[in-house]
Amino acid sequence: MKTKTAFAICAHPDDIEFMMSGTLLLLKDAGYEIHYMNLANGALGSMYMNNEMTARARRAESQASCELCGAVYHDSIAEDLSLFYDARTLAALVPVVREVAPEIILTHGPYDYMEDHINACRLAVSAAFCRRMPNFRLNDECPVTDQPLAIYHSMPHSITDQLRRPVRADMFVDIAAKMQLKEKMLSCHATQKDWLDSTQGEGSYISGMVSAARHFGKESGAFEFAEGWIRHNSVGFADESFNPLVEALGDKVKFADG
């Protein structure tokens, strides 16, 4: 029997930790093999190191976080602010998605506040769509897959879109039991923490994540800490009734309208 897999695909090192690692950890507890990928390498995320040094440091930090949560690590395929929705980048991601053959993809939303996040979302969705298209041309032989797949979009860090409009989740996942490990994972990203602490105030890095989890917990009306999600349209991916995240997590999920 094939192992069920969940694949977190985000833009930068630390994005997974901020808005989706709690859900990813719960899926692991539910028996999923979990995978971890930052599409951009984080090379622009330092005020002190050059691009190459920053990329190396942030890769090591991501690997440390990935090891903490017991996920399979996948390397980046672009640089910060060079993460474009184009044929070359999509062709680099499609074989990874086919190899992982996920049942669940966790990624950013198309309503996010930052272009890299929006492009990561578009790439993840298109790569998932192309998983079953043999005529999508790739440099390397890569068999198609045809498993049903559900995509879930996280909430933006800002909790608003680019025009400052609030983004509302369709459903919430109770992550209270995973907050301690979520903080440890985020703390692995020391270079980013130092940068944000110096530019946004001491302790803003961890406290910002905790505040967001508390915000979505309050919005859920049921949980102390939560991550919010919007499920992608199922057309081209699975039947409308296919909702594996809810099936796997059960009473840890609460819908916004109930």
- Which own/partner contact pairs does 121-124 have at CB distance under 8 Å and 24+ positions apart? 121/153, 122/85, 123/9, 123/39, 123/83, 123/85, 123/89, 123/90, 123/93, 124/9, 124/93, 124/97, 124/151
Q: Compute how many other C-beta atoms are within 10 angstroms of the C-beta atom of residue 206.
A: 15
Structure tokens at 190: 């020391």
With 80 as the cut, is the pLDDT of residue 61 above it? yes
pLDDT band of residue 140 (cuts 50, 70, 90) is low
* Mean of pLDDT values over 179-195: 90
* Mean of pLDDT values over 217-240: 97
Among 12-26, 74-88, 183-197, 210-224, the range scoring the smallest mean pLDDT is 183-197
With 60 as the cut, is the pLDDT of residue 202 above it? no
- Please give the single-letter amino acid code of residue 136: F
Looking at residue 229, what DSSP letter applies? E
With 70 as the cut, is the pLDDT of residue 214 above it? yes
Tell the residue number behind the tokens 């105030």, with chain if given: 201
pLDDT band of residue 199 (cuts 50, 70, 90) is low
Length of the chain, please?
A: 258
Residue 188: per-residue pLDDT = 95
Residue 146: per-residue pLDDT = 93
Residue 195: per-residue pLDDT = 66
pLDDT band of residue 48 (cuts 50, 70, 90) is confident
* Mean of pLDDT values over 169-188: 97
pLDDT band of residue 250 (cuts 50, 70, 90) is very high
Alpha helices in the chain (DSSP H): 15-19, 21-29, 51-69, 87-100, 115-129, 179-187, 190-200, 204-220, 244-249
With 80 as the cut, is the pLDDT of residue 183 above it? yes
- From CA 249, how far away is CA 29, in angstroms rounded? 9
Do residues 212 and 218 make contact, with C-beta atoms less than 8 angstroms apart? no
CATH superfamily of 5-255: LmbE-like (3.40.50.10320)
Q: Which residue has the higher pLDDT, 214 or 140?
A: 214
Residue 3: per-residue pLDDT = 83
pLDDT band of residue 213 (cuts 50, 70, 90) is very high
Structure tokens at 180: 């301690």
- From CA 162, how far away is CA 145, in angstroms rounded? 35
With 90 as the cut, is the pLDDT of residue 37 above it? yes
Residues with Cβ within 8 Å of residue 10, at least 6 apart in sequence: 16, 20, 37, 38, 39, 107, 108, 117, 120
pLDDT band of residue 193 (cuts 50, 70, 90) is confident
- From CA 206, how far away is CA 196, in angstroms rounded? 10
Label each residue of 123-157 as H, E or C.
Answer: HHHHHHHHHHCCCCCCCCCCCCCCCCCEEEEECCC
- Please give the single-letter amino acid code of residue 119: N
Do residues 43 and 51 make contact, with C-beta atoms less than 8 angstroms apart? yes
Looking at residue 40, what DSSP letter applies? B
